[in-house]
Structure 1
Amino acid sequence: MALKDDLTSQIGAIFKNSWSETKGRVVPVPSDVGLGNKGTLLEQAVVLYADLDGSTSMVDTMKWQAAAEIYKTFLLCAARIIKSENGDITAYDGDRIMAIFIGENKQDRAARAALKLRWAELQIIEPQMKVVYKNSEFRIKHTVGIDISDLRAVRTGVRGDNDLVWVGRAANYAAKLTTLSSDYPTRITKALYDGLSSSLRISNGKPMWEERFWTPMSDMKIYRSNWWWSFA
């Protein structure tokens, strides 16, 4: 069958066939979800995106080995911290990482992971980089976005070469929040903030989050933070 005819047939089937959905109790991997019109629902899942800021400047001004080391160290810290808070890493995409948190205290665990990454940036990655690259003016910065919503995993691609796409507000909003300024590395939606315990809202009597309005998103209420969570 010619490529055009084959694609026309398959695309038509995707649009016309009905969908089936199952509820997930764990974060699925591609093999858990069928290739047809099938989805796995995660109810009120928390999505975290962490993105290294300034990558273009980094690769334009630093040797490739140094850039590679920064990528590796940032993603290593992010991954280890996410796992320490029982999050599931679902994707690496260049200089960013996506994770999903389900189960008890998922809002707290995701927010704490973000604040731990801020601490790791300041107390581990940057100081270790400066030991080797003493004269470099490059500063490591990052952004984290977190949201919560129903989320559906859908398998995309072709047999033998496929992955999951995550359909739901949390995946989109968490990713969009990482495009905002790294002056405040951590941003969360109101829906996420409302589920935080007091220990993740207040520290020594001071609020850890500042309420803002996300202008491009119809003045949606979000919260930003410059705080960190030490794990020394």
Structure 2
Amino acid sequence: MATLLYYSRQMHFQREKRLEEFLEALPVAIGVLDATGRPYFANKKAREILGKGVVPNIKPDQIAEVYQNYIVGTNIPYPTEKLPVVRALQGEIASANDIEIRVGDKVIPIEAWGSPIYDDEGNIAYAIVAFQDITDRRRLEAESINFTSQIFQINQAWERFVPRQFLQLLNKNSIAEVKLGDAVQKEMSVLFSDIRSFTSLSETMTPEDNFKFINSYLSVMEPAIRSHNGFIDKYIGDAIMALFSGSLEENTSDTEGENLTADDAVRAGIEMIRQLREYNQGRQRAGYRPIEIGIGINTGFLMLGTVGGHHRMDGTVISDAVNLAARIESLTKNYGVALLISHKTFSQLQDPNAYAIRIIDRVKVKGKSDMVSVFEVFDADPEEIKQKKLHTREKFERGILLFRLGDWAEASDLFEFCLKIYPADSVASFYHKHCQHHLRKST
């Protein structure tokens, strides 16, 4: 009997020795607690990471302190009850990746997995924990986050030069996907705006003051465009060319919804004029003279894409609709008004009666063969002026019709009526003078 007991102990010892040799050879750190929660074994890799081996006679609630376990990035000791090896003593299979071990001046982040080991009777005999140094992984993760952040910042910077909406219309996710010749045809509203008499204004300023003025002015105009689903295609000195293609949802929808590009553009133009009024108040307080702008809007199909060469290209839009918008803007000087739209834009407004609009003329724009009807939008006028224009609108528009028909006398009377109500009406004055000119010629 004694011999059998001896051989049994020898076999048990040999099994434990082979198991210990196996655990020592593993490239992963291994630690073992006995059933009472005291350290029982630590392999070579564990001793390297922990800076020590088995510390006998310590209690489970001392493990975090003895082995310097902390919550990652803090000076808070890791809660003992949350350590995977301690949880394994409770019969759990647990893991954690928010532990760091401090050995001298070294800080080692680890990932750990704990598992219970049962005896033949189903009782927990040991708790084993496998853990590894994840310093390299954390470094790579940090580099990846940093790289992603840099890419995000670069994309944000690019959006200042190439608007996100421009890329979206080309079905591109980033500027890196854009190639020379990429283009798409789409119906859009085009807005041109320009500062009146900018050349003479700029001659009174130094180049540095010119830049400051332009940037302060444009920074006021841009939000009015962006807030109405538009984006600025380009700045041309003091001029702005903006495009309206509808909201993001409209562009990505598979169903054909209402086309709101005309309304967006007109609302943006109205907002620009209102913002200019506030901007001018600031200029006057600072001792500068106020500025005036003209805005022209047209709606139609255009080609949006990239032009240039392989080493230098630019995003642009090409269409007769674009040229017409620029021509309409130039007409604002002739009539002395701030905002003009074409009949194409007028016809696409969801509810033209929602705006303060009156027809101004039917003209043949320079460089164009077709006649174009032009409308003034005067929602942004001061309320008193707006009401006077609304009050005289019916007679004003009848005067326009009679003028076109050559009835100079009756047209003149109608415009004269308008001027009595609102003497500063530049358009009524324009037509009244022309009526008088024709009447003098006919006598």
TM-score between the two structures when normalised by the length of structure 1: 0.74
Which whole-Å CA distance do the structure 1 matches of 2:205 and 2:379 have between them?
29
SS in structure 1 opposite 2:322? Answer: helix
Contact kept in structure 1, 2:296 and 2:332, CA below 8 Å: no
Higher strand share: 1
One of 202, 205, 208 as aligned partner of 2:357: 208
Say whether 1:197 aligns with 2:350: yes
Which residue is 1:77 aligned to? 220
Say whether 1:187 aligns with 2:187: no
One of 145, 151, 159 as aligned partner of 2:296: 145
Contact kept in structure 2, 1:118 and 1:227, CA below 8 Å: no
Deviation, 1:74, is: 2.3
Contact kept in structure 2, 1:51 and 1:95, CA below 8 Å: yes
Letter in 2 for 1:185: A
Letter in 1 for 2:376: R
What pairs with 1:1-232 in structure 2 (closer than 5 Å)? Answer: 26-28=168-170, 33-36=178-181, 38-42=182-186, 44-103=187-246, 104-122=259-277, 124-133=278-287, 136=288, 138-182=289-333, 183-198=336-351, 201-202=353-354, 207-216=356-365, 217=368, 218-228=370-380
Letter in 1 for 2:337: Y
Alpha-carbon RMSD across the aligned residues, in angstroms, is 2.6
**Structure 1's 181 and 48: CA in aligned 2 closer, same or farther, altered over 3 A?**
closer
CA distances 1:154-179 after superposition (whole Å, capped 9, x unpaired): 42222232102312122111112222
Which whole-Å CA distance do the structure 1 matches of 2:363 and 2:211 have between them?
33
CA distances 1:102-137 after superposition (whole Å, capped 9, x unpaired): 134211111000011111111x1100011112xx4x
Identity %: 21
> Between Structure 1 and Structure 2, how many residues are aligned?
197
Contact kept in structure 1, 2:283 and 2:290, CA below 8 Å: no
Letter in 1 for 2:346: Y
Which whole-Å CA distance do the structure 1 matches of 2:321 and 2:261 have between them?
13
Deviation, 1:63, is: 4.5
Which whole-Å CA distance do the structure 1 matches of 2:210 and 2:227 have between them?
26
**Structure 1's 31 and 149: CA in aligned 2 closer, same or farther, altered over 3 A?**
farther
Contact kept in structure 2, 1:78 and 1:117, CA below 8 Å: yes
**Structure 1's 72 and 25: CA in aligned 2 closer, same or farther, altered over 3 A?**
closer
Which whole-Å CA distance do the structure 2 matches of 1:32 and 1:224 have between them?
41
Which whole-Å CA distance do the structure 1 matches of 2:217 and 2:358 have between them?
24
SS in structure 1 opposite 2:179? Answer: coil
CA distances 1:164-202 after superposition (whole Å, capped 9, x unpaired): 23121221111122222342111111010011133x544
**Structure 1's 96 and 202: CA in aligned 2 closer, same or farther, altered over 3 A?**
same
Contact kept in structure 2, 1:213 and 1:221, CA below 8 Å: yes
Q: Which runs of 5+ in 1 are unaligned?
A: 1-23
Higher helix share: 2
Letter in 2 for 1:54: S
Q: Which runs of 5+ in 2 are unaligned?
A: 1-165, 247-258, 383-443
**Structure 1's 159 and 120: CA in aligned 2 closer, same or farther, altered over 3 A?**
same
SS in structure 2 opposite 1:97? Answer: strand
**Structure 1's 129 and 117: CA in aligned 2 closer, same or farther, altered over 3 A?**
same
SS in structure 1 opposite 2:265? Answer: helix
Higher relative contact order structure (alpha carbons within 8 Å, sequence separation ≥ 6)? 1
Which whole-Å CA distance do the structure 1 matches of 2:189 and 2:178 have between them?
20
Contact kept in structure 2, 1:49 and 1:144, CA below 8 Å: yes
**Structure 1's 87 and 31: CA in aligned 2 closer, same or farther, altered over 3 A?**
farther
